[in-house]
A and B are shown apart, each in its own frame.
Chain A
Amino acid sequence: GPKVLQIPSHQIIDMGQMVTLNCDPVSNHLYFYWYKQILGQQMEFLVNFYNGKVMEKSKLFKDQFSVERPDGSYFTLKIQPTALEDSAVYFCASSPYGRGGTGQLYFGEGSKLTVL
């Protein structure tokens, strides 16, 4: 089936540094998402993105977080500066539908972030 690619699969950084997580969505998909998962538990919604804009975000999407997809390249999640509580697995997802679609998501394999 359609694949979402995430780079890197694992990153270890020191607290206070910047990190960028990259996502290559399925090519004809319109909506992009980031989710945060800690210790294999609940998938927490962070943000969704459509037509170059953040559409919705949760309380977990702190001011230190930002997303963009410049010129149809990677959809990125940037955290600057990082904090210890940002350690988690971050999943990117994409959906082929815009508003009015079902919202069925296709997930990447996750980027594990460890903040020391």
Chain B
Amino acid sequence: AQKVTQTQTSISVMEKTTVTMDCVYETRDSSYFLFWYKQTASGEIVFLIRQDSYKKENATEGHYSLNFQKPKSSIGLIITATQIEDSAVYFCAMREGSNTNKVVFGTGTRLQVLP
């Protein structure tokens, strides 16, 4: 069964620094998709970035990038030059590639960016 684990419950960083949020996953599938979503204080949930398991290159999207370490089943989210408005809860999620469209989420990491 697919499982996503985020061990960091809360992180605080200073504005304009770089932060990394950890996520490990479990799957028996050789093909899968990994996602990061952001939930703002208003509750809105926004897709940030995706990594396809068959791609060796780390995905990047604006000031978001991923550290995909397949042998460790790890998909870290890196935010560079953090801004106050990056303060939110960040969820890691996974969809296995075959025979399912179920998307499973981790427990989330709350990021606070301080001025």
Which of A's residues lie within 8 Å of B, judged by CB?
A: 31, 33, 35, 40-45, 48, 50, 55-56, 89, 91, 95, 98-99, 101-107, 109-110
Contacts and interface: CB of A to CB of B under 8 A. Distances in A.
Main secondary structure of the interface of A (DSSP, over half): strand
A105 B103 contact: yes
Given A50-B101, A56-B100, A101-B101, 14 more contacts: A40-B39, A40-B89, A42-B105, A42-B108, A45-B105, A102-B50, A102-B52, A102-B95, A103-B101, A104-B50, A105-B35, A105-B47, A107-B37, A107-B45
Contacts of B104: 45
B101 A55 contact: yes
Contacts of A110: 43
Contacts of B37: 105, 107
Main secondary structure of the interface of B (DSSP, over half): strand
A56 B33 contact: no
Nearest to A95: B101
Nearest to A31: B101
B101 A104 contact: no
A20 to B, nearest CB: 20
B25 interface: no
Interface in B71-115: 89, 91, 93, 95, 100-108
B102 A106 contact: no
Contacts of B95: 102-103
A7 to B, nearest CB: 15
B44 interface: yes
B50 to A, nearest CB: 6
Contacts of A31: 101
Contacts of B44: 107, 109
A43 B101 contact: no
Given A42-B105, A42-B107, A103 B33 contact: yes
Nearest to A101: B101
Contacts of A106: 47
